[in-house]
Amino acid sequence: MQGDQSRYDAIVVGSGIGGLVSGGYLAADGRRVLVLEQHDVAGGNAHVFRRRRKYEFDVGTHYLGDCGPDGLIPAILSGLGVRDRVRFRPMDNAGGFDRIMTPTATVDVPAGWEPYRHRLKQAVPEEADRIDRFIDLAVAVATASRAGLLGEPMVELFRKSPQTMRWSRRTLGQALDHCGLSAKGRTLVAAQAGNYGAMPDGIGFAEHVNIMDHYLRGAYYPEGGGQALVAALVEALEAYGGELRTRCAVRRILIDGGRATGVELADGQRISAPLVISNADYRRTVLDLCGGAAAFPADLVARTRDAVMRSAVVAVYVALDTELPGLPNANIWWHDSDDMEGAHAAVQERYERDGTMESVPQLAFSFASIKDAGSPAVCPPGHSNFQIMTGCPPGYAFWGLEGGPVDGEPYRRNPAYLARKRQLTETILDTAEKVLGPFRDRITHVETATPLTNERYIRASGGTPYGMATWGGAGQRPDVRTGIEGLYVVGQNVRYGSGVGGVATGGVAAASQILGRPLLAEVYAGTVLGDASRLPERAPDWDPLAVSRGQARQRAKGLARIG
């Protein structure tokens, strides 16, 4: 086995937003940081892919919240000196950044809790008092959660409002029950469940309201797509002395005497560091990279092995040679029933009974060519670029498989897999035309990503982008600090939640633990750790996808380009 005498102060395994943020802050503090990524480009669920030299599709960056002048995401970027390198385009925050559609109601969700309250009450006026009860409770929990995030001690929050803090430990379903909302009212309140991949009984009330609060502070889309955000973080990392290596897979996280000592790469090379931050999937971190019971207590290993993942997603990427008329600058959350939970349960029951999924009860639409209108990478002028997403049953059996790509399953040409993929793609497109009107004869490109695709590229357990649903108990998730000295975890499985905002916050939290300072509160107040004068100048042909490969591979072959 080849040795390597190179030493780093910290190694980050995986280059999703959480890993890049934590690595960037450590580098800005003067630490020598190495970020390792098995894929061709950094970004995890925030990366993009290109097709036909015309279209660029975002994998997971559909919209961001809280990107206004006092927003948390701009504050996190500002702390690294890259706030001015990412521009956020506002969606229709007054008219509605999310459009909820059911058979009997349409709700355009605007920025602000009070305008949101008003729109809900307009849709179900007979439940106005129940809506008021729910929104009052949601605002109280969201306010307390944000105060805690910015440094107010939890004991003080409990002292001020014990009843509010108790609700932070209950599910969204329990809150909906408490407020007495009907099936239709529950559906309208929980319609954007695709932001976290769970039905109301499977998501914490605090997580739901914090995600809603995130978007109700204003919804935005990064100009140039998710890769522009990733590239800015890579520029910060490298400018402050850090290093990004792509196409560099980690085989093991090395642990000796109860502390992390470095990593072993897939080629056998070992690299030493007293700190390791894993942005890899949490289950794979504990069970595979760290060796399970050889490193962790037996109860934690059992809890991790038994963890239930959140919903897996099928995404259909569509390009048209025409524009779609009459659409707002908003996502569309379409439901075929006023009873979202009942429709979801019926589909699950049908699949368990006869193995079929002949219809989809919900669809989510994201229109990049509207959110980033005029961007030369998204699509040519006059064309459309959008995604259609829905959930699917968990596990490999639904796809006619016994294992996944991490296990070495050659799934991509498996006839059963291909047949299921074709059938589900056709069902999704058929259903989408009921919402948008006919568009199939104008398609110039269409492809479908399944949970197997997600597992292949980011090695997520269950192929889900949302992380764990249960980890020993509903709503429980690990903190960024582990029981192993020098080992931290970030990403969509930690307690700060999924989505760009959640994983970025978790990345700051890990850096805060390591540096022993309240970074999130500091950067929100204006502290800047990074020196923007060290950042590279951007050439006229600056390409965020090339930057996201790391300096050593920016000009390597195989990079798809637009034009």
Q: 34 with 447: CB under 8 angstroms?
A: no
Q: 78 with 528: CB under 8 angstroms?
A: yes
Q: 171 with 201: CB under 8 angstroms?
A: yes
Last residue of a domain, one of 167, 202, 217: 217
3-state secondary structure of 436: helix
**Same domain, yes or no, for 135 and 201?**
yes
Residue 429 lies in a domain: yes
What is the number of other CB atoms lying within 10 angstroms of the CB of residue 192? 17
Close Cβ partners of 60 (under 8 Å, ≥ 6 residues apart): 44, 45, 46, 226, 465
Instruction: Give me the pLDDT at residue 53, please.
Output: 95
Q: Name the residue with tokens 């307390």.
A: 144
**Same domain, yes or no, for 457 and 539?**
no
Q: Name the residue with tokens 């809280």.
A: 66
Distances (CA, A) of 383 to 62, 97, 101, 224, 444: 18, 21, 25, 16, 9
β-bridge partners, 433: none
| pLDDT, tens digit, 9 for 90 and up, residues 346-362 | 999 998 888 888 899 99
Cα 563 → chain centroid: 29
Instruction: Give me the pLDDT at residue 4, please.
Output: 47
**Same domain, yes or no, for 315 and 445?**
yes
**Same domain, yes or no, for 195 and 177?**
yes
Instruction: Give me the pLDDT at residue 164, please.
Output: 79
3-state secondary structure of 240: coil
Joined together, the tokens standing for residue 243 give 């290093």
**Residue 282 φ then ψ, to 5°:** -60, -45
Assess whether pLDDT exceeds 50 at residue 562: yes
Residue 256: give its domain's CATH number.
Answer: 3.50.50.60
Residue 379 lies in a domain: yes
Q: 344: closest CA among 176, 180, 199, 182? A: 199
Assess whether pLDDT exceeds 80 at residue 155: no
Instruction: Give me the pLDDT at residue 161, please.
Output: 78
Instruction: Give me the pLDDT at residue 163, please.
Output: 76
Check residue 99 and report its DSSP letter: E
**Same domain, yes or no, for 234 and 380?**
no
Domain of residue 347 covers: 311-462
Q: 528: closest CA among 19, 150, 83? A: 83
| pLDDT, tens digit, 9 for 90 and up, residues 455-477 | 999 999 999 999 999 898 767 89
Residue 512 lies in a domain: yes
Residue 78 lies in a domain: yes
Q: Name the residue with tokens 């597992």.
A: 455
What is the number of other CB atoms lying within 10 angstroms of the CB of residue 305? 12
Q: What angle do CA 418, 456, 416 make, to 5 degrees?
A: 15
Taking the C-alpha atoms of residue 369 and residue 380, their distance in angstroms, rounded to an integer, is 9
**Same domain, yes or no, for 14 and 83?**
yes
Assess whether pLDDT exceeds 90 at residue 151: no
- The residue ranking higher by pLDDT, 528 or 476, is 528
Taking the C-alpha atoms of residue 265 and residue 1, their distance in angstroms, rounded to an integer, is 11
Taking the C-alpha atoms of residue 203 and residue 74, their distance in angstroms, rounded to an integer, is 27
**Same domain, yes or no, for 315 and 438?**
yes
Q: 434 with 484: CB under 8 angstroms?
A: no
**Same domain, yes or no, for 140 and 211?**
yes
Cα 113 → chain centroid: 23
Residue type, 60: G
Q: Exposed, middle or buried by CB within 10 Å (0-12, 13-18, 19+), for 459?
A: buried
Number of domains present in the structure of the chain: 3
Joined together, the tokens standing for residue 73 give 């995401």
Check residue 404 and report its DSSP letter: -
Residue 58 lies in a domain: no
**Same domain, yes or no, for 243 and 266?**
yes
Residue 100 lies in a domain: no
Assess whether pLDDT exceeds 60 at residue 3: no
pLDDT-derived band at 2 (thresholds 50, 70, 90) equals very low
**Same domain, yes or no, for 493 and 547?**
yes
Cα 554 → chain centroid: 25
Residue 530 lies in a domain: yes
| pLDDT, tens digit, 9 for 90 and up, residues 102-147 | 999 999 999 999 999 999 999 999 999 999 999 999 999 999 989 8
- The residue ranking higher by pLDDT, 7 or 342, is 342
pLDDT-derived band at 436 (thresholds 50, 70, 90) equals very high
Taking the C-alpha atoms of residue 86 and residue 121, their distance in angstroms, rounded to an integer, is 36
Taking the C-alpha atoms of residue 25 and residue 82, their distance in angstroms, rounded to an integer, is 12
| pLDDT, tens digit, 9 for 90 and up, residues 230-272 | 999 999 999 999 999 999 999 999 999 999 999 999 999 999 9
Assess whether pLDDT exceeds 60 at residue 344: yes
Joined together, the tokens standing for residue 10 give 């910290």
Distances (CA, A) of 180 to 133, 137, 415: 9, 13, 48
Assess whether pLDDT exceeds 90 at residue 166: no
Instruction: Give me the pLDDT at residue 6, please.
Output: 66
Cα 65 → chain centroid: 12
Q: 429 with 316: CB under 8 angstroms?
A: yes
Residues 359-381: b if buried by 16+ CB within 10 A, e if exposed: ebbbbbbbbbbbbbeebebbbee
Last residue of a domain, one of 217, 243, 275: 217
Last residue of a domain, one of 185, 217, 249: 217
Chain mean pLDDT for the chain: 95
Instruction: Give me the pLDDT at residue 106, please.
Output: 98
**Same domain, yes or no, for 260 and 378?**
no
| pLDDT, tens digit, 9 for 90 and up, residues 172-225 | 999 999 999 999 999 999 999 999 999 999 999 999 999 999 999 999 999 999
**Same domain, yes or no, for 327 and 284?**
no
Instruction: Give me the pLDDT at residue 1, please.
Output: 34
Instruction: Give me the pLDDT at residue 518, please.
Output: 96
| pLDDT, tens digit, 9 for 90 and up, residues 9-45 | 999 999 999 999 999 999 999 999 999 999 999 999 9
Residue 405 lies in a domain: yes
